[in-house]
Amino acid sequence: MTDYFHLHLDRDRLLALSSLGLAHLGDSVFEVMVRSWLVLHGKAKAKDLHRATVRYVAAPAQAAAVERLLPLLTQEEADVYRRGRNTAPHSVPRAASRGEYQAATGLEALFGWLYLQGRTERLNELFEVIMAEA
């Protein structure tokens, strides 16, 4: 049976995945981390948790966050980010520019890539940098 909470994909399987597939998964990984952070830090009342979550996971916020991460990424992580960022979006939400949306997609691809490798410590390191200013 596959343990979907503790995945450790090898390099060849990771390279075969699409950037949008990585971003799709990374979007949920990032959102779970944000939701956990909000609940554990008491940053929002229960009735405001959804609105607070959206504030952090929206493309403009993710695009701003990735700017703080770029200098900290390894070459391989930066390559995954660029691969995700350079994927042509099918559509762009009204609340974000094309550049913001692409940067957010790159961040999500990176989070999906790290998750699939079981690199939760690195995910937590990068997430701490993102949330340090919150």
Task: Supply 13's token pair.
Answer: 């399987």
Distance spanning both ends of the chain, measured CA to CA: 39
Catalytic residue of the set 12, 27, 48, 79 = 27
Identify residue 6 by its one-letter amino acid code.
H
- In the block, which residue shows the tokens 């390191």? 125
Helix (H, G, I), strand (E, B) or coil at 107: helix
Residue 97: DSSP 8-state: -
Contacts for 86 with CB less than 8 Å, ≥ 6 apart: 19, 102, 106
Active site residue 10: no
Helix (H, G, I), strand (E, B) or coil at 112: helix
Enzyme catalytic residues: 27
